[in-house]
């Protein structure tokens, strides 16, 4: 997936689309008015920009994504780790857990992921 940079409000808009897709553009305007307090021109301007970036499409008035939400956030996470932690997942985890203690459930979930990776590798 190519790197798609979004401003915070564009990301929020994409979340609205992902939660409602496929959605008629007129209905999207109504959802954005309710959830984001936007007027119609704002919705269409942001929609157009995200279509230009290759994240969304508007075909015959039906808006849907070209990039899956999970794929987008996975790529964004990888980018953060690469840029901020020189690609080191252990460094990221160390920084993340230095101020936030993991719950027992979170530790067990992470351990299951590690165990699954070991079995695959």
**Do 58 and 31 fall into the same domain?**
yes
Which residue segment(s) compose the domain that 94 sits in?
A: 88-121
Predicted confidence (pLDDT) per residue in 21-70, tens digit: 999 999 999 999 999 999 999 999 999 999 999 999 999 999 999 999 99
If asked whether residues 21 and 57 sit together in one domain, one would say yes
Structural domain includes residue 39: yes
Say which CATH number the domain at 51 has.
Answer: 1.10.10.10
- Per the structure, how many domains does the chain have? 2
Higher pLDDT, 77 or 51: 51
Taking the CA atoms of the chain, what radius of gyration do you get in angstroms?
Answer: 18
Report the predicted TM-score, pTM, of the whole model to 2 decimal places: 0.78
2: confidence class by pLDDT, cuts 50, 70, 90:
low
Asked if the structure places residue 3 within a domain, the reply is: no
Strand pairing of 23-24 and 62-65? antiparallel
């Amino acid at each position: 997936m190519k790197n798609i940079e979004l401003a915070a409000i564009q990301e929020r808009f994409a979340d609205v689309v992902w939660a409602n897709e496929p959605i008629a553009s007129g209905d999207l305007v109504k959802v954005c008015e309710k959830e984001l307090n936007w007027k119609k021109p704002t919705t269409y301007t942001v929609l157009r920009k995200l279509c230009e970036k290759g994240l969304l499409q508007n075909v015959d008035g039906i808006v849907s994504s070209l990039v899956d939400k999970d794929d987008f956030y996975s790529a964004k996470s990888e980018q953060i780790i690469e840029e901020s932690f020189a690609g080191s997942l252990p460094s990221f985890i160390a920084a993340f857990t230095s101020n936030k203690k993991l719950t027992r459930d979170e530790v067990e979930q992470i351990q299951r992921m590690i165990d699954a990776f070991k079995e695959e590798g």
